[in-house]
Amino acid sequence: MDTRTLNTLPTSALGLGCMGMTFAYSGAETERSIATLRRALALGITLFDTADIYGPGTNEELIGPVLNEHRADVVLASKFGARSLEIDGRAPDGRPEYVHRACDASLRRLGMDHIDLYYQHRIDPRVPIEETVGAMSDLVAAGKVRHLGLSEAAPETIRRAHAVHPITAVQTEYSLWTRDVEADVLPTLRELGIGLVAYSPLGRGFLTGQITSPDDLAADDWRRNNPRFQRENFQRNRDLVDAITRMADDKGVTPAQLALAWVLAQGDDIVAIPGTTRPQRVEENIGALDVTLTGDDLARLDEIAPVGAAAGTRYPAPMMSMLNN
């Protein structure tokens, strides 16, 4: 397994996003999810990503016992702050007192004494970032957390947070159909020496080519509410994926492998965390590490999927308001 370093934190070049094992998507089975975790560990994946809202709570409860069997070899990342509007009417929540409560609750569910990389899941615009990160820094001092991160934060927020305590990584959506980060977030991270963790590098499964119709999604799959999966945008995005698939066929790889290889080719300071609940998908995704992209390949992909190529926003309007704060 190739390794990379997020600021000072070494990890596998590919991690595993665990959200779908208990949250948002349909069809996840506990035993298959556990088998997926074990296969990822066996293949050398060290970075595992979860959050307290996934379930809520049940994701940490699921993965904790499995990862604890290999705790010394695992980089466990979790997140706090993306609370439901039904809980105190706060979404998100960055209050210092909540930071401490959330971390303690995650540690109990995980059965661990520390979290390797702890993110603020969404920035709370009502709480100065200095106060939130100050509380997160207290967790580091207490030995409950090793490294700090932010998710979907604006450049100025990142700078202010980093001035309080070193930020190891910023997590954001990054893929062939979501390239917004290239404009100002990624340059800011590189200026400050902060790593980027790319979630949904396969476009929530769309870039694999396996979703051919909105009807392929179960009735309770949250992607049915995602603008990019809805009928007015679906076909335009399908045309984009068809072009990626043709290029993948030319190179003798799968569309997923091509899409992941592209993300990893954007810099050694980037780690991708594709999510899956199937061991065979982990094996396929790791194959992306053997895909070499030439300058001509990268130019062709820029033509196929330039910035802004995807039709539709990446979240419904209420969730879009929580990004880049």
Each residue of 112-139: pLDDT tens digit? 999 999 999 999 999 999 999 999 999 9
Give the pLDDT confidence of 146-165 residue by residue, as tens digits: 999 999 999 999 999 999 99
Question: Looking at the predicted structure, is the pLDDT value of residue 319 above 70?
Answer: yes
Closest CA to 145 of 49, 77, 54, 60: 77
Please tell me whether the peptide bond between 56 and the residue prior to it is cis, using omega within 30 degrees of 0: yes
Confidence of residue 88 (pLDDT cuts 50, 70, 90): very low
Question: Looking at the predicted structure, is the pLDDT value of residue 73 above 90?
Answer: yes
Residue 178, C-beta contacts closer than 8 angstroms, at least 6 positions apart: 200, 203, 310, 314
How far is residue 160's CA from residue 168's CA, in Å, rounded to a whole number? Answer: 14
Confidence of residue 89 (pLDDT cuts 50, 70, 90): very low
- The residues with which 14 forms a beta bridge, in sequence order, are 272
Q: Which residues of 89-104 are buried (b: 16+ CB within 10 A; e: fewer)?
A: ebbbbbbeebbbebbe
User: 73-87, 90-104, 203-217 — which is least confidently predicted?
Assistant: 73-87
Mean pLDDT of the region 5-12: 97
Confidence of residue 215 (pLDDT cuts 50, 70, 90): confident
Mean pLDDT of the chain: 94
Q: Is 297 helix (H, G, I), strand (E, B) or coil?
A: helix
Closest CA to 60 of 143, 4, 118, 8: 118
Question: Looking at the predicted structure, is the pLDDT value of residue 295 above 80?
Answer: yes
High-pLDDT (> 90) share of the chain, %: 84
Closest CA to 39 of 277, 271, 289: 277
- pLDDT of amino acid 316: 84
Give the pLDDT confidence of 157-207 residue by residue, as tens digits: 999 999 999 999 999 999 999 999 999 999 999 999 999 999 999 999 999
- pLDDT of amino acid 87: 43
High-pLDDT (> 70) share of the chain, %: 97
Query: Do residues 63 and 277 lie in contact, with contact meaning Cβ atoms separated by under 8 Å?
Result: no
Active site residues: 54
Question: Looking at the predicted structure, is the pLDDT value of residue 264 above 50?
Answer: yes
How far is residue 185's CA from residue 187's CA, in Å, rounded to a whole number? Answer: 6
Residue 105 backbone phi and psi in degrees, to 5 = -65, -40
- pLDDT of amino acid 83: 66
- pLDDT of amino acid 217: 87
Question: Looking at the predicted structure, is the pLDDT value of residue 304 above 50?
Answer: yes
Q: Which residue blocks in the chain are alpha helix, DSSP H?
A: 30-42, 58-68, 96-110, 129-141, 155-164, 185-192, 231-251, 255-264, 279-286, 295-304, 317-320
User: 2-11, 25-34, 232-241, 288-297 — which is least confidently predicted?
Assistant: 25-34
- pLDDT of amino acid 218: 86
Which letter does DSSP use for residue 144 in this model? Answer: S
